Structure 1
Amino acid sequence: MVPQHVEVKGVGVDSKTRCLHYHSERDIIAIKFKCCNTYYPCHLCHEEKAGHEPVRWSREEWDTKAVLCGVCRNELTILQYMNSQSVCPHCQSDFNPGCRNHYHLYFEG
Structure 2
Amino acid sequence: MNRHAVTGAIDSETRCEHYHEENDRIAIKFYCCMAYFPCYLCHQTHGCGQKRVWPKEAFNQYALLCGGCGVELTINEYLNSHYSCPSCNAAFNPGCSLHAHLYFAR
Is TM more than 0.5 here? yes
How large is the Cα RMSD of the aligned pairs? 1.3
After superposition, the Cα gap between the structure-2 partners of 1:93 and 1:105, relative to the gap in structure 1 and judged at 3 Å, is same
Tell me the TM-score normalized by structure 2: 0.96
Could you tell me which amino acid in structure 2 is paired with residue 9 of structure 1?
Answer: T
Contact 1:66/1:75 (<8 A) preserved: yes
List alignment gaps of at least 5 residues for structure 2.
Answer: none
Aligned to 1:26: 23
Count of residue pairs the alignment pairs up: 106
Residues 7-60 of structure 1, C-alpha deviations (whole Å, 9 max, x = no match) = 0001x5211000000000000000000111100000000000114122100010
Letter in 1 for 2:60: D
Aligned to 1:42: 39
CA contact (8 A) 2:84 2:91 kept: yes
Shift >6 Å, 4+ stretches: none
Q: Paired residue for 2:52?
A: 55
Give percent identity, aligned residues only.
Answer: 49
